[in-house]
């Protein structure tokens, strides 16, 4: 994907890889089991030494994902329907957050380019693109809803994993 986007850049433009991170946070057991699910973003072009310094403020929160309602209070016959609704809501929120990063196949399209003032005082066209999403295994499972007991990448059944 990055190579395809890079091939469409104009001379002098910059590819800006965006790295997204998410991790659900358990806030309290005493106030109704409160949770938050923030999504953070950073720029991949930054030196990792600078990107990892907390005082550099290189990571920004871009969204709070909705926490699905607990399934324990839902009748068994509506459980599948509620899970599907939870997936659809989460997918819609993620679609809206990532919509400006959709890559159009038309190389002449001006959409998605931003004029950015660079350190040398010149404005340059920058094309942001989703490069990575960092999450732990349970988070990945919550975001993508793969089947249980399968490989996350190819969805190979458990008995074929070797």
Compute how many other C-beta atoms are within 10 angstroms of the C-beta atom of residue 127: 20
Query: Any long-range contacts for 45-50 (C-beta under 8 Å, 24+ apart)?
Result: 45/14, 45/16, 45/17
Burial degree of 125 (CB within 10 A; 0-12, 13-18, 19+): middle
| pLDDT tens column, 100-137 | 776 554 444 556 778 888 878 888 888 888 888 888 77
0.75 exceeded by the pTM? no
Alpha-carbon radius of gyration of the chain: 20
| pLDDT tens column, 32-72 | 667 788 899 999 888 888 888 888 888 999 988 887 766 66
Phi, psi of 88 (to 5 degrees): -65, -40
What per-residue confidence (pLDDT) applies to 33? 63
């Amino acid at each position: 994907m990055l190579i395809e986007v890079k091939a469409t850049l104009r001379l002098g433009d910059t590819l800006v890889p965006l790295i997204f991170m998410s991790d659900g946070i358990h806030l309290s057991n005493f106030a109704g089991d409160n949770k938050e699910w923030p999504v953070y973003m950073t720029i991949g072009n930054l030196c990792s030494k600078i990107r990892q310094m907390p005082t550099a403020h290189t990571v920004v929160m871009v969204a709070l994902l909705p926490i699905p309602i607990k399934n324990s209070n839902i009748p068994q016959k509506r459980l599948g329907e509620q899970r599907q609704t939870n997936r659809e809501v989460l997918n819609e929120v993620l679609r809206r957050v990532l919509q400006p990063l959709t890559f159009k196949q038309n190389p002449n399209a001006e959409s998605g380019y931003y004029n950015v003032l660079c350190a040398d005082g010149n404005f340059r066209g920058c094309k942001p693109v989703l490069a990575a999403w960092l999450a732990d295994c349970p988070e990945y499972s919550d975001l993508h809803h793969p089947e249980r007991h399968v490989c996350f990448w190819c969805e190979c059944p458990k008995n074929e994993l070797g």
